[in-house]
Amino acid sequence: MKQSVLFILLFVSLGRIAAQNAEQCVAIAREQMALGNNVVARQMFQRVLFFDRKTYGIECYRELAELNLRTGNFGQSAFYFDLTYQNAKSDSAKNEALVQKAGALLLQEKYTEARREILLIQDQTEEWRKRKLLYLGACSYGEKDFVTSEKVFLQIVGDSANAQRAEVKKHFKKAKKINRKKPKTAKVLSMVLPGAGQLYAGDYRNALNSFGLNALMAYWFIYTTQTFTLGDAVLSTGSWVFRYYAGGYQRAPLLTEEVKDKKLKDNFQSLLRTVQAQ
């Protein structure tokens, strides 16, 4: 009997110590997050999950999701936001976790998965209606379905906000114009005139560099031909001309996609500022 009582007392004491240690670990982890020591903070939260998942699980899931989001580990962030959603006690907490997970998926360009998470939200209040529309519009924009995305964003601003509606339409007109740039066209232009593909893509700096370099190569070719012979000119400049020529037209399609992507993202950020100015 005495042994049973001793074991019970020991078990209770250990439980209290573990709880105290877990609470201290959570406090230390938050402190390390604030200081920017993300690796230490991650290890502390994971330690708490190992020893006291029942008490501090949802709190650690949420913090780990935010931590991974901050450090650019969007896949792990979505994973922990999903665990937050599964363990949340209230509908509002579940909805918030779904939105955060959708955001992490959007950053990975997983638009179909993000849309699926947003559609799980059942809250019909005006605030949540607009938040859902915002994310759905973002999904369509990411998929370059600008017609659908424009309709969604116009729903967000409403029928009475004429100035904002005009701004939204302007942003989508710009997005469609940016998206019309074709990588194959850039390649063909670069083959016809080195630098023209970069100019078409909108990379004016590289276009000017290419024009200048090729003009220099052309001048050197002509100078060598007049001073020495055509054969000397071909030998001295041919390899350099081919190197930059071939590199230019091979790079042009990739450059076009890169410039398009950046301009579309910048345009989307401007679109968000317009919508959020309500």
pLDDT of residue 124: 85
Task: Out of 2-6, 115-119, 253-257, give the one with best mean pLDDT.
Answer: 115-119
Average confidence (pLDDT) over 107-136: 94
**Using one digit for the tens of pLDDT, what is the confidence trace for 171-223?**
999 999 999 999 999 888 888 888 888 888 888 888 888 777 777 777 777 77
pLDDT of residue 247: 75
pLDDT of residue 65: 96
Contact 55, 22 (CB under 8 A): yes
Query: In the predicted model, is pLDDT for residue 83 greater than 80?
Result: yes
Contact 29, 44 (CB under 8 A): yes
Query: In the predicted model, is pLDDT for residue 7 greater than 60?
Result: no
Query: In the predicted model, is pLDDT for residue 249 greater than 80?
Result: no
Q: Fill in the DSSP letter of residue 269.
A: H
Sign of the Cα torsion 37, 39, 40, 45 reads positive
3.40.640.10, 3.40.50.300, 3.40.1190.20, 1.25.40.10: CATH of 10-103? 1.25.40.10
Average pLDDT of the chain is 85
End-to-end CA distance of the chain: give it in Å, rounded: 71
Quick one: tokens of 223?
Answer: 């100078």
CA distances from 147 to 44, 136, 153, 171, 240 (A): 47, 13, 10, 12, 46
Rg of the chain (C-alpha set): 29
pLDDT of residue 198: 83
CA distances from 213 to 187, 194, 200 (A): 18, 10, 18
Three-state DSSP at 50 gives helix
pLDDT of residue 240: 62
Average confidence (pLDDT) over 16-31: 73
Output phi, psi for 122, to 5 deg.
Answer: -100, -10
